[in-house]
Chains A and B, each alone.
Chain A
Amino acid sequence: MDRPQIIECRELTKVYGTQVAVDHLNLTIKEGEIFGFLGPNGAGKTTTLLMLIGLSEPTSGSATVCGFNPTREPLKVKRVVGYLPENVGFYDDLDAIQNMLFVSRLNDIPDEIARTKIAELLEVVELASEKNKKVGNFSRGMRQRLGIAEVLVKEPQVVFLDEPTLGLDPDGSARMLDLISSLSREKNITVFFSSHMLDQVQKISHRVGIMLKGKLVASGKIDDLAKEKFGVDKEIHTLEGIYMKYFKEGAK
């Protein structure tokens, strides 16, 4: 896969008071890739995501997303990047279409174009039958799918998903994973997502990164990481085994 780089972090660092949330992070991601970002709670995954979309300023170091610096040109980055926060929120007294219409207006998309696009996207995320229901009545899985649809309204080149499957039932998260991998496959959208669900990450990502206490301790293809940690002869490896090994080493 020799595709152009789309995300690059150089020595990216974020310090909150005395606590180092992200510590000299170096990372590159190629176009069309699905990158799974792993790590325990509080490892700095969300902070990294926020810095990459320009919502948070790095203390030092820099990043490039789609050729722009998110700190200096946040608007240009936000125009081509979609972000689904963990537990995304909606305006509960508006219906699905109104919520999406608000986002598309913020993206400067004319209403006529937006309406047809919203109808298509709701079809894709299987919410077309619920489009006139108030979002306050949506289940968690529906909200999460609506979140994805909302992110796609602006036709992003890169999407950042923060814990997209958190709190979903098995069926819901399977549908979510299908959706995510179809984004990369069909629309060539780069997906950068963070998760705790190791088996899910293994299922869909091309490459993974493991973050511990603000440091990226490993990144690469799952097979390569397995070779590195278990030796070549180990045939059956799960991401969980690799992850736990790194985790235990990091805890030492």
Chain B
Amino acid sequence: MKGMLVICRKELADHFSSTRFILLFTMIVMVSLVMAYMVGAGLREELQGMTKPTLVFLLLFTSTGKLFSLIQFIAFFGPLIGIVLGFDAINKERSSRTLSKVISQPIYRDAVINGKFLAGVTLISVMLIAIVLLISGLGLTLIGVVPGPEEVGRLVIYLIISIFYISFWLGISILFSILFRNIATSALAAVACWIFFSFFVAIGAGIAADMIAPVDQNSVAANPELLIRHEQARTILSLFSPMSLYSEGTNTILDPMRKTTQTVLLMGPMERLSLSRFQNPLPLLQSVYLVLPHIISLIAITLLFFAASYIAFMRQEIRST
């Protein structure tokens, strides 16, 4: 325990002073500020002369503005933060020959990997909280709406999910840094993973859904349920990507008007009518229930990858040469 904290402390100091981290952080803060500004300015115009709609504060994070929303931005670039923080965690110590020295000190071997992971997670949390607070502050001055307790609650849950999401990528990149001796190889492998999960899973899910439940004009007219089956297959398969797990989860948490994670619903005229008449936001708890499976899966895969790197590290021979 003591050894882990010592390593965590050193790693944090290293991260905070590294150029790599400062560059990345500056870039992300800049982009989020610009985005929040644009979204905020747009919102102000839209809201002019309207009575206050519910939970307008959250629109700062979900509204796409001119380009994309903060959620989309984090879903897309968050993995990069995780990868940058972890891709050389172990193999750098190995190539600079400090690893054998560190573990010949009276600490358990897992203190090294736990400390590194903990430092990464701490850093990710600091970063995300800073960004959310910055945007909130900017939003307060721009649109002048104070967040209520429910909005704050939703933001906290959003933060927690985001921390797990980025830690998942941290876990993957640490795993690669254990498996590959070469720093460039592990960085490339992590980036390849990121591209695969971000783009190819989504495309692949579409193709696979077409094969499972082929849809064309005639068949849908004859059997509308086919369309639903197609959509379901696509959704389920795309959930193999942590990115879609994350975006669906956070979108539902931050947008109380979303009442389901389904994209296509089969509704009769009465249902449609009732849906349009009762456009009320979901209570926070209901939103959480809706995406609980997403959140749990995200936490599970994060832990899974950390466990994998833990085991890989504990079983590896330490020989420096």
> A residues touching B (Cβ–Cβ < 8 Å)?
46-47, 50, 53, 55-56, 75-76, 78-79, 81-83, 85-92, 102-103, 105-108, 150, 154
Residue in B6, B98, B99, B101 whose CB lies within 8 Å of A83: B101
Asked if residues A87 and B98 are in contact (CB atoms below 8 Å), the reply is no
Residue in A56, A79, A81, A88 whose CB lies within 8 Å of B101: A88
With A56-B318, A106-B105 as known contacts, state yes or no: A85 contacts B97, CB within 8 Å. yes
Residue in A50, A83, A88, A106 whose CB lies within 8 Å of B3: A106
Asked if residues A105 and B6 are in contact (CB atoms below 8 Å), the reply is yes
CA A203 to CA B96, docked complex, whole Å: 31
Chain B interface residue bracket vs A: 20 to 34
Shortest C-beta distance, A235 to chain B (Å), equals 40
CA A50 to CA B109, docked complex, whole Å: 14
Shortest C-beta distance, A244 to chain B (Å), equals 25
CA A85 to CA B319, docked complex, whole Å: 10
Asked if residues B2 and A55 are in contact (CB atoms below 8 Å), the reply is no
With A56-B317, A56-B319, A108-B2 as known contacts, state yes or no: A103 contacts B105, CB within 8 Å. yes
Cβ-closest chain B residue relative to A75? B106
With A102-B6, A106-B3 as known contacts, state yes or no: A87 contacts B320, CB within 8 Å. yes
Residue in A50, A75, A105 whose CB lies within 8 Å of B318: A50
Residue in A79, A89, A92 whose CB lies within 8 Å of B106: A79
Asked if residues A75 and B104 are in contact (CB atoms below 8 Å), the reply is no
Give me 10 other A-B pairs in contact (C-beta within 8 A), A56-B317, A56-B319, A89-B101 excluded. A55-B103, A55-B318, A85-B100, A86-B320, A88-B101, A91-B96, A106-B6, A106-B7, A108-B2, A150-B101
Q: Which residues of A contact B6 (CB under 8 A)?
A: 102, 105-106
Q: Which residues of B contact A79 (CB under 8 A)?
A: 106
Residue in A47, A91, A154 whose CB lies within 8 Å of B98: A91
Residue in A81, A88, A106 whose CB lies within 8 Å of B97: A88
CB of B321 closer than 8 Å to a CB of A: yes
Asked if residues B106 and A107 are in contact (CB atoms below 8 Å), the reply is yes
Give residues 104-158 of B contacting A (CB, 8 Å). Answer: 104-108
Asked if residues A107 and B105 are in contact (CB atoms below 8 Å), the reply is yes
